[in-house]
Amino acid sequence: MFRALEATRRLWNDALSHRKSRWEKERRATSYELQAKILTTEREQNALLGELHSQVGQDVLRRLDRAFTAFFEHRAGYPRFKKFGHSESFTYPQAYNGSVKPFVVRKRIFLSKIGNVPVVFHRPLPKDSRLKTCSVRRERDGKWFVSLLFEQIVPLQNIKVPTQFLTKAPIGIDLGLISLIGTSDGEKIEHPRFLRKAENRLKRLQRTLSHRSKGCKNLLRGRQKIASQHAYVRRQRLDFNHKISAKLVREHGFIAFEDLRIRNMVRNHALAKSIADAGWGQLARLTEYKAFCAGSMVVRVPAAYSTQECSYCGMVNKVSLDVRTFECVGCHRLLDRDTNAAQVLLKRGLAILGLTYAKVGQDMPELKPVETRSQPLRSTEGARQVEEAGTICPEGVGSPRPMPLEDVTDNRALITTPSTSDA
């Protein structure tokens, strides 16, 4: 497997060099088809490429072609050459043709041109399915993983339609740095700060690594220790987000997430590490796929003014970021910033589906039947992301009152909660 990784690295560098030199000398673009033909000839002359499965080499060329496509579309930078040891994975794109054969009972997986490899299957393989692709990946801490992609044909009547949001309570999720999430029910989950807690050990390991001589074995050992610590932090964060997402999907049928532009927010160098350590995007992705399997629904809601808009009267309150509790200037209610923002997000999410909720009893949300069409949302073109999970009004701009949600009852399409009669 190490030789396969090294072969893919050299193939990537040679193909990149060929594209670059051909353009500089002849001003001619190089296609994937041309390099695939050259690869067929090179496999007969290069012993290392000959040990590599043919489709694995073709997948490397496809990756390079996609990298150049992303560069020309201004979605990524120019492809770079890979150093020794920086190639981390290779893929069998057509694993169904016998190039990959998993054996669960024997705890082995057969990889073409490599052989039988001992593996640990963390769950049973799906029945009545077809193996599509297989990706072998080596982590920086030295551990190997294999990802198997299966295609399963499911009858149309067995597909789960998102209907759980009609029977379970809806919830809005506000993402933050002080509290990782704040819900519309008033619950808050503190930021675990896994990376911050591991910083002291990482500093000590990196300080020790800086004194190692180049080329010695202790340098490699030090690098692996640092990689192991980072991998431990990454797995801690993944496990924590798995538990939170599973809890949200289990207890709620409709979840409205704050839609943040995380890529723009990490440009703030003062908070980039904390934002990356929070794992907001990972939490939202995990919740989305679990909700799809459970028949629930997840929507991403525009975050503009959600931390300043009152969830009761709709007034936008101009307050600074350090104020976590404020009094609304419209209705004079004392509002918790995170809980209020989550309630605003829930209202916006329900409005996207043509639903709304009315305050009943002790400010408890209840679904109310309305016309089943999307409600108009106020434009957020002037908003900008700031150093917390939410936005504020730009300086010099007033505080316009948001457009109220229309509440129109249509007897032809009623959606009710379990506490009332069936529709």
In which element (H, E) is residue 129 found? Answer: strand 129-138
Q: Which residues pair with 117 in a beta bridge?
A: 109
DSSP state of 82: P
Helices (H), 252-397: 262-265, 272-278, 280-294, 337-352
Q: Which of 14, 59, 65, 338 is catalytic?
A: 338
One-letter amino acid identity for 294? A
CA angle 312, 314, 319 (to 5 degrees): 100
Is residue 338 part of the annotated active site? The answer reads: yes
Is residue 190 part of the annotated active site? The answer reads: no
Q: Which of 14, 59, 65, 174 is catalytic?
A: 174
Which region holds residue 257: left if phi is over 0, alpha if psi is between -120 and 50, else beta? beta
Q: Which of 14, 59, 258, 288 is catalytic?
A: 258
274 closest CA partner among 202, 375, 328, 194? 194
Q: 211 Cβ partners below 8 Å, 6+ apart?
A: none
Is residue 73 part of the annotated active site? The answer reads: no
Task: Show the beta-strand stretches assigned E in 213-264.
Answer: 254-259
Pairing of strands 188-190, 179-183: antiparallel
How far apart (Å, rounded) are the C-alpha atoms in residues 271 and 177?
9
How far apart (Å, rounded) are the C-alpha atoms in residues 331 and 134?
58
Q: 319 Cβ partners below 8 Å, 6+ apart?
A: 308, 326, 337
Paired tokens of 410: 């249509």
How far apart (Å, rounded) are the C-alpha atoms in residues 1 and 245?
35
Paired tokens of 140: 């920086």
DSSP state of 164: G
Is residue 193 a contact partner of residue 271, using CB atoms and an 8 Å limit? no
In which element (H, E) is residue 146 found? Answer: strand 144-152
Give SS3 for 99: coil
228 closest CA partner among 212, 245, 209? 209
Is residue 197 a contact partner of residue 191, using CB atoms and an 8 Å limit? no
Pairing of strands 254-259, 170-175: parallel
HSE-CB of 159 using CA atoms within 13 angstroms: 6
Active site positions, annotated? 174, 258, 338
